[in-house]
Structure 1
Amino acid sequence: MVLVGGITRLTDSGLSMTDWHIITEVIPPLNEQQWEAAFDEYKQFPEYQKINSNYDFQLEDYKFIYFWEWFHRLLGRLLGVVFIIPFIYFWVTKKLDKETLKNCFVLLFLGGFQGFLGWYMVKSGLVDNPYVSHYRLAMHLITAFITFAFTFWVALNLIYPKKEPEYISFRNLLRFTYFILIIQIVWGAFVAGLNAGLIHNTWPLMNDGKLIHESVFIEQQPVWRNFIEGKSGVQFIHRYLAYVVVALILIIWVKAKQLTLTFAQQQSVNWLLILVGVQFVLGIFTLLYAVPLSLGVLHQIGAFFLLAGMTFSLHRFSR
């Protein structure tokens, strides 16, 4: 789901379906007449009128972007079915303890809320501006990641029913790092939503060999808006927050060496170090090559696995 969502964003496919029908749009257009009707409807909206109409954008091009948005929505529906049917069965047959049942209701809410945020995001690009709001994109992405992380946490509760030795100060360090990683993922969504990865495609310095390019401070007024709405400012935050995440995980790994850990605890910390290293390298190459589809998707998936690693580590050190 996250993989296809990344492809949908990077291929600018998210605005290809201009309406939201829970049941009927499960089946895509099946003949040329239906495709022409869908294409004609798409032509009434800003993305075609202000962008694609300037190019030789034909029905076959529309079919390509339609597929990815349709497939993304279809996977969302399948996720709902895969969750709800077994959940009802286990609930009715009293297979779930109170804690797991409560967690499953939270998951049910998160899944529904995520679907709502998907449409809320798409809606922002169907009015005047042919781009979705990068704020709504970030909400949609981070809610997907949090929904996954909570799902994983519930699964870990079942896989590891017995808690491991806890180290309170170490757990607090993990919690702080988890929070910073969430912030980093949000700014990654800002970068994607503003296409901020298409500028300053040099590393380790920004353009003109500067640690901080002057454009970081001048795109928006007042200055603070540069860091949430300016392309240079948003990329600057995402660039340098990556160093903070790497440093924190290195600290976690070093401090873990000083503790007496179980096998699962030690493995969770080791995986963190591997995952953050891979993600950091992917981020560099994604920037240097100006966000090609393959690297952009891999970078998003890398964030997904890094969050999984952080969730696993925090679980192994929690009460």
Structure 2
Amino acid sequence: MANSAAPVPESDYSRAVKGRPLVLAKWLYVVALMVIIIVMVGGITRLTESGLSITHWSLVTGILPPLTDQAWQAEFDLYRQTGEYRFESGPTGMDLAAFKFIYFWEWFHRILGRLIGLAFLLPMLWFWICRAIPTGYKGRLLALFALICGQGALGWYMVASGVGTDLTDVSHFRLSAHLLTALFLLGGLVWTARDLQMLGRDSTAQPAGLTGASTIIAAILFIQLLLGAWVAGLNAGHAAYDWPLMNGQFLPQPDLSRGWLWALTHDPFLLHFLHRWWAWVAVAALVWLARRIRKSDRPASIAIHSAFGTMFLLGIATVLTEVSLWVAVSHQLVGALVVASVAWGMHSDGLRKAHKA
């Protein structure tokens, strides 16, 4: 039986196949940029000891900060019940003005999280209704949105570890889970956007695969990022202000009174030492990745070299400036750029292998 459907004009077909994947890719790049910004703001929040300034979680009513002197005082009274205030902030004479400063960064961090959720959810629903999402990508987009929601939940789970306890900081394990989930989300956004770009240019393009080499490189980078998160959570950056030595010595003297496992996960001197020197392993791995894709995707290779080189120098500067706020924040910001560039490079490595096959 003859097909009664009217033929689709070439121009309409081109827009349906090519235009929409490219629009989705641009949207995901915008969300990825927002994630990079929130990672930076999260670094400011941690370094200014702002994370426990808001002791409760209100998804809707928490959008607005306190608007009256009475409301501000009520929030300050809640903060003064935390271990951080009683053992650290309080003895230094924190007043309401100083509290408003740290409150702003935590509030801004939470607002950005909500904005990222909306910036992802609303366009996704629109694209879904308009049937603009290419085949095979709905599940991936839902997974990315689940990561955004999980990131928010982990943020509160992290804050809860320092509320109602005698702890002066949040759990560094929960902090690392919160940060690494954000960076994994960032990598997923970049990877998916790259796949959509390929589809927009060629309707027969297949998603890039993960190579064995890229898996090894990702594992090495994960360890470095995990160590960095633990260093931040334990304030271990203050363990030494000299480089390459630590307090005049190459090897630190870790606290082994509770065994090596505890020292490897809790001792600030040992973790600072490991973060410093595992960085060289991470650099070697990233150089390997950059060289693998140098011919097939030179811009990605340059981006990887530029990002990790800048991050390495900023790490040294963070130590030598005794963890200066803006130097340390820049170190974390460039760390997010490293993840984005590595996701780009790993994607290109997958394409390179597919083209050789």
TM-score of the two chains, using structure 1 as the length reference: 0.92
Counterpart-to-counterpart distance in 1, 2:124 and 2:281: 39
In the alignment, which of 146, 149, 154 is matched to residue 184 of structure 2? 146
In the alignment, which of 157, 175, 180 is matched to residue 220 of structure 2? 180
Q: Please, which moves more after superposition, 266-275 or 248-257?
A: 248-257
What does residue 338 of structure 2 align with? 306
Counterpart-to-counterpart distance in 2, 1:72 and 1:245: 29
* Letter matched to residue 346 of structure 2: L
- Structure 1 position 194 matched with structure 2 position 234: yes
Counterpart-to-counterpart distance in 2, 1:189 and 1:220: 24
Tell me, what secondary structure is at the counterpart of 1:51?
A: helix
Segments of structure 2 that go 5 or more residues without pairing to the other structure are 1-37
1:100 Cα offset (Å): 1.5
In the alignment, which of 164, 168, 173 is matched to residue 135 of structure 1? 173
Counterpart-to-counterpart distance in 1, 2:293 and 2:111: 42
1:154 Cα offset (Å): 1.2
What does residue 113 of structure 2 align with? 76
What does residue 36 of structure 1 align with? 73
Counterpart-to-counterpart distance in 2, 1:42 and 1:75: 22
What does residue 308 of structure 2 align with? 276
- Structure 1 position 119 matched with structure 2 position 156: yes
Counterpart-to-counterpart distance in 2, 1:78 and 1:141: 18
Tell me, what secondary structure is at the counterpart of 1:243?
A: helix
Counterpart-to-counterpart distance in 2, 1:241 and 1:134: 19
CA contact (8 A) 1:199 1:290 kept: no
What does residue 160 of structure 1 align with? 198
What does residue 212 of structure 1 align with? 251
What does residue 226 of structure 1 align with? 263
What does residue 108 of structure 1 align with? 145
| Higher alpha-carbon Rg | 2
Deviations 1:32-77 (A, max 9, x none): 1111111122222222222222122110011001100001001111
Q: How many residues align?
A: 308
Tell me the C-alpha RMSD between the 2 structures: 1.9
* Letter matched to residue 168 of structure 2: P
* Letter matched to residue 118 of structure 2: V
1:223 Cα offset (Å): 1.9
Counterpart-to-counterpart distance in 2, 1:219 and 1:192: 21
1:225 Cα offset (Å): 1.9
Counterpart-to-counterpart distance in 1, 2:269 and 2:277: 12
* Letter matched to residue 191 of structure 2: W
1:253 Cα offset (Å): 4.1
What does residue 133 of structure 2 align with? 96
1:159 Cα offset (Å): 1.5
Instruction: State, as a whole percentage, how many aligned pairs show the same letter.
Output: 37
Tell me, what secondary structure is at the counterpart of 1:160?
A: helix
Counterpart-to-counterpart distance in 2, 1:273 and 1:40: 48
TM-score of the two chains, using structure 2 as the length reference: 0.82
1:178 Cα offset (Å): 1.6
